[in-house]
Amino acid sequence: MNTEKISKKIILSGIQASGDLTIGHYAGAMKNWVQLQDDYECYFMVADMHAITTRQVPADLRRRSVDVVAMYAACGINTDQSTLFIQSHVPEHAQLAWVLNCFTGFGEAQRMTQFKDKSQQHSENVNVGLFSYPVLMAADILLYQADLVPVGEDQKQHIELTRNLAERFNHLYSPTFAVPDPFIPKEGARIMSLQEPRKKMSKSDPNQNSCIFLHDADAVIKNKIKRAVTDSGTDIIYDTEQRPGISNLMSLYHVATGKSMQEISDEFNGRGYAPFKEAVAEAVAELISPIRNRFEEIRSNPDELSALLKSGADKARRQAFKTLRKVYKKVGFVEPS
């Protein structure tokens, strides 16, 4: 009998629970996760501990953290197969982060461009948590021995830091961590603001018309797309430099229908913006409507959802504890008796 088990490669990813999820998250994260889940052993978490690096309303954070898990499932993550959990349910994240903090150079952390950007944005609250945010992210990844980390381009530097920390620790002690690779989705998956298409669509944008939420009703979605800023001229050609507005609508249409930019251009160019916007609005509403319905169904069943969170946290903890125990031993902590 062949008892050899071929183990799958491991993926870990997560989204901060600092705002409601948008179609940008779907295009850049969940859509890919759904495609990866058959071939990899997947851990998908909600980064609530990262969220408190900026001020949160406690009740909102609590609701949103659960919403995000429900939305993962609504987007098609198979909860029997992949592990979904809330970061703060697995205390090993904070524990490993502390150890890794002691192996991260001050200058190294200071060079992170997201830290520099966020300390400007939140100049009234530049806290130490914001500074060591990427170290906590490294702990998230290294605890599960992840091989691949699907993230947006903006997180690439954090994965680079994670790799450096893993290699540093492995080298100083003995092989402990897998050294992960980033997995960055291709262009066109990056959805921009509907009002300022040179800026990324953001859940925290104060202008709600710039952003399509995964819980938006069909009429709201259509309205936002009809009001989306377009460029001067009438060409429907993918060119993010010259025509960021129309290119973004093309990206949305691509996400909703799977058609390539060339196919979209062939279909709509020369017919003016109005019929194209109409088609984008229809297609996006058709994409989101079943997601919203599943989300509401999952959310209306709190017992099932809390069972899901418990089994996710249990499974994640088993794995996380294995790694943390090795780390504690190697750095010289006494095993509790």
51, 69, 99, 137: residue in contact with ligand TRP (rule CB under 6 A): 137
Residue 266: count other Cβ atoms within 10 Å of its Cβ: 12
One-letter identity of residue 105: G
Does the protein bind ligand TRP through residue 291 (CB under 6 A)?
Answer: no
Q: How far is the CB of 75 from ligand TRP (least distance, A)?
A: 16
Nearest-10 Cα torsion for 319, 71, 197, 160:
0
322 is catalytic: no
Nearer to ligand TRP, 47 or 75 (CB): 47
Radius of gyration of the chain, Cα coordinates, nearest whole angstrom: 21
Q: How far is the CB of 282 from ligand TRP (least distance, A)?
A: 30
What is the C-alpha separation between 116 and 130, in angstroms, rounded?
10
Nearer to ligand TRP, 13 or 83 (CB): 13
Does the protein bind ligand TRP through residue 165 (CB under 6 A)?
Answer: no
Active-site pick, 118, 222, 224, 277: 118
Could you tell me the two tokens for 6? 């071929």
Q: How far is the CB of 15 from ligand TRP (least distance, A)?
A: 6
Active-site pick, 9, 203, 259, 315: 203
31 is catalytic: no
Does the protein bind ligand TRP through residue 151 (CB under 6 A)?
Answer: yes
Does the protein bind ligand TRP through residue 13 (CB under 6 A)?
Answer: yes
Does the protein bind ligand TRP through residue 50 (CB under 6 A)?
Answer: yes
What is the C-alpha separation between 186 and 191, in angstroms, rounded?
12
11, 30, 47, 194: residue in contact with ligand TRP (rule CB under 6 A): 47
Specify which residues 46 forms β-bridges with: 15, 86
| DSSP one-letter code for 104 | S
The beta strand positions in 48-132, using DSSP E, are: 83-86
One-letter identity of residue 309: L
96, 99, 100, 149: residue in contact with ligand TRP (rule CB under 6 A): 149
Residue 76: count other Cβ atoms within 10 Å of its Cβ: 16
What is the C-alpha separation between 135 and 89, in angstroms, rounded?
18
Does the protein bind ligand TRP through residue 243 (CB under 6 A)?
Answer: no
The stretch among 11-19, 59-67, 166-174, 282-290 that binds ligand TRP (CB under 6 A) is 11-19
Nearer to ligand TRP, 142 or 279 (CB): 142
Q: How far is the CB of 47 from ligand TRP (least distance, A)?
A: 4
Does the protein bind ligand TRP through residue 327 (CB under 6 A)?
Answer: no
Nearer to ligand TRP, 116 or 271 (CB): 116
What is the C-alpha separation between 111 and 94, in angstroms, rounded?
22
Residue 271: count other Cβ atoms within 10 Å of its Cβ: 12
Pick from 51, 11, 47, 44: which is nearest to 30 by CA? 44
Does the protein bind ligand TRP through residue 141 (CB under 6 A)?
Answer: yes
Pick from 161, 157, 162: which is nearest to 141 by CA? 162
Backbone angles phi, psi at 112, to 5 degrees: -65, 125
Q: How far is the CB of 78 from ligand TRP (least distance, A)?
A: 19
16, 132, 240, 247: residue in contact with ligand TRP (rule CB under 6 A): 16
Backbone angles phi, psi at 41, to 5 degrees: -85, 115
Hey, which residues are catalytic here? 118, 200, 203
- Give the residues lining the site for ligand TRP (CB under 6 A): 12-16, 47, 50, 137, 140-141, 149, 151, 155
